[in-house]
Amino acid sequence: MKASRAFYTEVQKKFTMMPFSLRSCDDENKARVGLKECVSHKLLSPFDILVDREGEFVAQFKLLCLCMPNGNLRGTTAGFDPETVRSEHSVSSDAHKALLAQQISNKAKKKKKGKKPAADADAADGQDVAPTKE
């Protein structure tokens, strides 16, 4: 219990939400004991390693993309160059191709301030308008 608490606080301070190796902990033996209890209580989850056939390479890229009402935002970059990778699979749906072709920006677009509607413009001319109860 004591080892798991010490291990969990070390993980929270050093690694926050990112994956880590037990070798990067201060005491690897205590970390192994604490890790077992943290995983059994679902405080931490193991990072699954992708495996394919013998002699094959497996790559995994993750990035954060926020779909906001005023446009897409890129939270992180993975340094992925699509020209270096060839795949036997492709996207066949036109809707998915259009979605993938959208540009992702780092900054949110600012909303443009429009003119006031005509009813508000008349009220702003100096006439006092009182709310009515219906």
Cα–Cα distance for residue pair 47/26, rounded to 1 Å: 20
pLDDT at 110: 63
pLDDT at 111: 64
pLDDT at 94: 92
- Does any domain span residue 80? no
Identify the CATH number of the domain in which residue 28 sits: 1.10.10.10
pLDDT at 124: 46
Contacts of 124 (CB under 8 A, 6+ apart): 116
Count structural domains, the chain: 1
Q: Tell me which residues of the chain have a pLDDT lower than 50.
A: 121-134
